[in-house]
Amino acid sequence: MIRKINRRTVIRSAGALAGTAVAMPFVSRRHALAADPIVLGLPTSQTAAAGVADDLDHLNGTTLAMEEINEAGGILGRELKLFVTDVDKLSPESCQQAIAACIDAKVHAISNAFLFVPIPAMDESAKYKCPYVQGNTQRAATEAFKSNPEKYAHIFQTDPSEVHYGYTYPLWLEHEEAQGVWKPKNRKVHIIQEQVAYCQTISKAAQEAIKKRGKFEVAEVTDIQFPVQDWAPVIQKMKEVDAAAIMVDHWVAAEYAAFCKQFIADPVKDSLVYMQYGPSQPEFLTLAGDTANGFCWSTVLGVYADEKGRAFREKYKKRFPGIMGLVYTGNGYDIVQYLKLAWEGVGDPDNFKAVCDWIRDHPYRGVCGYMDMKNELQEAAHFPDNGYPISASELEKGMSQLYVQVQNTEHKIIFPNEISESKLQPAPWWG
């Protein structure tokens, strides 16, 4: 976790002091903007052990959108400013306090990457009801909206929920086999699961979907506990099970990088190894280097590699040089652009209800795909359709899950076909 300390320093330099309204650097003053700014609240992990990398990505994407908007004359003639406050994603009290700080600052909307304990934050935000637009990726949170839509009407999850990681996993395995790029040595799947509720939900969904589809079988489920200090016992268990497909259901980039290094030294031959989400964080490639080649991962929320996505990647890298995170960079950017359209459509950012109604009635296609909030869970629909709610049968009616393989130390989208950049390549430990 040493690198996270350095990333906190970057966040402080980008976001100034936590808990204060900040005008980010490089904002043009050529346009005469009204003195009364529109303020967006950003609970951002800066001092906790978890989530700093994702929150830096989210802050950077938000910053980029804010700078572009202010450069072009603001929103309704008013400058957009950010209110950044610290949060510990694993602490219910901290999540609640971060939202309370935003309310005290009288923000016009709240945006965050994700919180592991979203319900306390949602309950706190219900006291204020400004638009709360985020990428929490949790079905428990959207089910809370479904059970009480009046209380949580102002809360929008801009990505599909984590259950889709599990539901889509066997679909992906079947696709790679059908393509002829992977010939499974057996029909076994070995799931390695972390203990936070988020990962447990994914594991259960995967087990359910594998059984339902019937093409593979779960041979073993092995528990791990954050932080993982040594992967050797886990890899030994992998070798004993010797499954054709291995799903590592975890979320920490640095620990995934350590896993890759240890696995490459003593691999499970001919196994297709998948790691859920964490490799999307920039430090994964920095730490893993060449040992990352051949491993696969996915995200239900990510920057596409289409024309719109490539243009965003280019300008993001110009503004924030280095390895780019592929998830919350785009989500932070998309949320601001979505809110801008809503504020302009309503004409009054202080009319929270009208802005929320506008968001519900107007889908938005961003760099991470299509967001339509008008459904029973108020979350983005998942593509491809995996037979579970909420799914879309067309790419431009949902947000595509991106299955990615590291090829030549670069992330390449390999599934679904509608948005792929490459095909699955043989891993170094195959054959």
Cis peptide leading into residue 267 (ω within 30°): no
Number of domains observed in the structure of the chain = 2
Instruction: Show the beta-strand stretches assigned E in 232-381.
Output: 245-249, 272-276, 296-299, 364-366, 369-371
pLDDT digits (tens, 9 = 90+) for 218-253: 999 999 998 998 999 999 999 999 999 999 999 899
Q: What pLDDT sits at residue 356?
A: 98
Report the percent of the chain where pLDDT is more than 90.
Answer: 88
- Indicate whether 30 pLDDT > 60: no
Cβ atoms of residues 291 and 17 within 8 Å = no
In whole angstroms, give the CA distance from residue 4 to residue 123: 29
What pTM value is reported for the model?
0.91
Q: Examine residue 338 and state whether it is found in any structural domain, yes or no.
A: yes
In whole angstroms, give the CA distance from residue 333 to residue 5: 24
The band of 279, judged by pLDDT with boundaries at 50, 70 and 90, is very high
Average pLDDT over residues 277-294: 95
Q: Examine residue 114 and state whether it is found in any structural domain, yes or no.
A: yes
Residues 357 and 263 in one domain: no
Q: Examine residue 430 and state whether it is found in any structural domain, yes or no.
A: no
Please give the angle made by the CA atoms of 256, 431 and 172, to the nearest 5 degrees.
55
Q: Examine residue 177 and state whether it is found in any structural domain, yes or no.
A: yes
pLDDT digits (tens, 9 = 90+) for 60-92: 999 999 999 999 999 999 999 999 999 999 999
Domain containing 97 — which CATH number? 3.40.50.2300
Q: What pLDDT sits at residue 52?
A: 87
pLDDT digits (tens, 9 = 90+) for 318-343: 999 999 999 999 999 999 999 999 99
Cβ atoms of residues 274 and 298 within 8 Å = yes
The band of 28, judged by pLDDT with boundaries at 50, 70 and 90, is very low
* DSSP label at residue 396: G
* DSSP label at residue 379: B
Q: Examine residue 426 and state whether it is found in any structural domain, yes or no.
A: no
Residues 56 and 88 in one domain: yes
Q: Three-state SS for 362?
A: coil
DSSP H stretches of helix in 126-222 = 139-147, 163-179, 197-213
Residues 147 and 25 in one domain: yes
Q: Which residues pair with 222 in a beta bridge?
A: 192
Q: What pLDDT sits at residue 32?
A: 60
Residues 183 and 107 in one domain: no
Average pLDDT over residues 401-430: 97
- Indicate whether 187 pLDDT > 70: yes
In whole angstroms, give the CA distance from residue 194 to residue 201: 10
Q: Examine residue 208 and state whether it is found in any structural domain, yes or no.
A: yes
Residues 310 and 230 in one domain: no
Residues 129 and 103 in one domain: yes
Residues 19 and 149 in one domain: yes
Residues 55 and 182 in one domain: no
Q: Examine residue 289 and state whether it is found in any structural domain, yes or no.
A: yes
Average pLDDT over residues 256-268: 98
Residues 372 and 240 in one domain: no
- Indicate whether 34 pLDDT > 80: no
Q: Examine residue 271 and state whether it is found in any structural domain, yes or no.
A: yes
| 122 phi/psi in degrees, rounded to 5 | -60, -45
Residues 150 and 168 in one domain: no
Residues 238 and 370 in one domain: no
Q: Supply the Cα-derived Rg of the chain in whole angstroms.
A: 21
Residues 140 and 221 in one domain: no
> In terms of residue numbers, what domain contains 410?
163-299+401-419
- Indicate whether 4 pLDDT > 60: no
